[in-house]
Structure 1
């Protein structure tokens, strides 16, 4: 039904307008305890075989929602009620900012992809902290993804990240340093190890005991992926999230060339191959010494299963929900449970341990 609704109605409306309407509806749902609890009871992952632990945090399922959807931490409980094993909010910056001018979000339906140049539009760390500090009636694992405020110069980036980390880390199950969005000028320069090392050290101190991860771009050269992996090991980070959106346009074959030419980060199906390639490279480099979180082109249980076999402990998605609807996470968890049993496994941890080449 959702796919018919999308094909006949939703795709005719502006992508960002639909996104905002969806977020508002989820925020309202978060305020209705009876409905929220019923949805959670029906759709949230409850199979003990899917439970796992990563960097000291217990997850009800390996499949979660990537950053970018709930930018201001306004609907984490509703998203958990629809089946996500964890919800990563943000990207949140120390200071509120409007993001880039509209239009800035584009669907490439034929390729099941999205281009965005949102530019970290959010209400800032202070507002996000207020929301995250409110009591919750549902259990939900919350990651907080932080980025650089656009107007802050590169040489002051560490101070900007630290301001967000100090405010948000105590309210997060894990914290992510985002240095890989293509939509903030100069941000990706911070992935260079000589700039990334001091930044991560400062954020580590501010984060305290909260597990710290770094999110990297798919457009890094292989040797730079290795360098970031080595740095993460050197600093004792909790893990690496691979990957963010790409500035490349490889894999687009069916979409309107004018839309495909829009600037911004590409997500969805065309990112699948490179995201998996980076995951495998990271796994070969770090083994099981870091938690690897795979994101990019994840559409169904086959993709989740493949990422787990390739060495990911956690898997995230976002674009797939745009095309498959609100029951997307529930279906993936249901199918993951069935596949586990079909292969004779009693725990998802047995799959993660069987790394493929």
Structure 2
């Protein structure tokens, strides 16, 4: 029987963005095929009490979610849920639809099992995405929306974009992820400053009552990153998502000259950022949700992140390189790791490897 690793060389002969469009099309027709999604769910969804958590009022039946960027327009929710994800982060979504940057803008680094993208927040806009979400919400797993400003929005008007998005998704999402860290929208990372973050989260919390998380870049100096995190938490953020893609092009042999890199090569940077954030929160006695993303491709890496303080993990690039059975395999192995190490519940493992 053909498995994904056998098919992968043929899939990788296709342009990356074309391949993604095909997946989006298959996701559209999948719910119309009798018994297909229940069969996928039976094969991929692992439910075990050792993996279940309630975090910020949301129930997660395992710790593995989908990172933002894969399902930008909320068109693949049912198929992705059937692959075993405990939560889906959709987007990034902007107030107005935008086409994104010029093509080509998505590249595979096959030897490094990594992806480079310069997409530029291409999406159908909040009205269309909200319409898709309202047809499904509330859903069987938490649905988050990653929000970002439009390219044409000036820095001075950025706050209005984020507030508009928060109001729009107040009744059709379980949480928001604030994206100030994508490298593909001009000057967006400049908004990663204390004054803007304080104003932003204070304002967002007045219009959106569910959890709001800050997603940060992996390339920040750690002291600066911690100052931003402190400002976000004091202004109402429920947690931190670490990290977005990196601009460190030395990580791959043949980088493009634009866009952010994700995948296995990001693992070390993302892991270290998580560790420093978790240590800081521990030492300052702040209980804050941590979601680790970046370079997680197997259960060992996921378990390492959990033991370093992550409550949840997210994957994206690994799904492309490992295939649709990835989430089930991670969860099966995580269960075994937890039992091997004497834990009765995943929450007991969170942060056990932290030391000063």
TM-score range (shorter-chain normalised) is over 0.9
Which range moved further: 194-203 or 85-94?
194-203
CA contact (8 A) 1:85 1:140 kept: yes
Query: Are 2:63 and 1:55 equivalent residues in the alignment?
Result: no
Count of residues in correspondence between the two structures: 350
For residues 89-138 of structure 1, what are the alpha-carbon distances to aligned partners after superposition, in whole Å with 9 as ceiling and x for unaligned?
Answer: 00001110000111000000011111100000000111111111114696
Q: Distance in 2 between matches of 1:210 and 1:220?
A: 27
Q: Distance in 1 between matches of 2:213 and 2:47?
A: 26
Q: Distance in 2 between matches of 1:5 and 1:101?
A: 29
Q: Distance in 2 between matches of 1:138 and 1:162?
A: 24
Could you say what secondary structure the match of 2:115 adopts? strand
Aligned to 2:275: 280
Which range moved further: 16-25 or 279-288?
279-288
Could you say what secondary structure the match of 1:240 adopts? strand
Aligned to 1:268: 263
Deviation at 1:184? 0.2
| Structure 1 portions without partners, runs of 5+ | none
| Structure 2 portions without partners, runs of 5+ | none
Deviation at 1:43? 1.3
Which range moved further: 315-324 or 33-42?
33-42
Deviation at 1:160? 0.7
Q: Distance in 2 between matches of 1:193 and 1:137?
A: 34
Aligned to 1:39: 40
For residues 219-241 of structure 1, what are the alpha-carbon distances to aligned partners after superposition, in whole Å with 9 as ceiling and x for unaligned?
Answer: 11112111112112211311000
Deviation at 1:199? 1.9
Which range moved further: 130-139 or 215-224?
130-139
For residues 20-71 of structure 1, what are the alpha-carbon distances to aligned partners after superposition, in whole Å with 9 as ceiling and x for unaligned?
Answer: 1112212221344622122223311211110012111110111111000000
Aligned to 1:312: 310
Q: Distance in 2 between matches of 1:49 and 1:20?
A: 36
Deviation at 1:174? 0.9
Aligned to 1:230: 230
Which range moved further: 328-337 or 309-318?
328-337
For residues 283-309 of structure 1, what are the alpha-carbon distances to aligned partners after superposition, in whole Å with 9 as ceiling and x for unaligned?
Answer: 111125110110001010011000000
Aligned to 1:121: 122
For residues 182-237 of structure 1, what are the alpha-carbon distances to aligned partners after superposition, in whole Å with 9 as ceiling and x for unaligned?
Answer: 00001001111122221222222221x21000100001111211111211221131
Note the 1:159-308 alignment, pairs <5 A: 159-207=160-208, 209-252=209-252, 255=253, 257=254, 260-287=255-282, 289-308=287-306
Q: Distance in 1 between matches of 2:238 and 2:170?
A: 14
CA contact (8 A) 1:295 1:316 kept: yes
Q: Distance in 2 between matches of 1:321 and 1:67?
A: 13
What is the TM-score normalised by the length of structure 2?
A: 0.95
Deviation at 1:141? 1.5
Aligned to 1:106: 107
Which range moved further: 222-231 or 102-111?
222-231
* Structure 2 CA distance for partners of 1:231 and 1:33, relative to 1, 3 Å: farther
Aligned to 1:94: 95
Deviation at 1:172? 1.1
Deviation at 1:262? 3.0
CA contact (8 A) 1:170 1:210 kept: no
Note the 1:133-172 alignment, pairs <5 A: 133-135=134-136, 139-172=140-173
Aligned to 1:79: 80
What is the TM-score normalised by the length of structure 1?
A: 0.95
Aligned to 1:5: 7
Segments ≥4 residues shifted beyond 6 Å: none
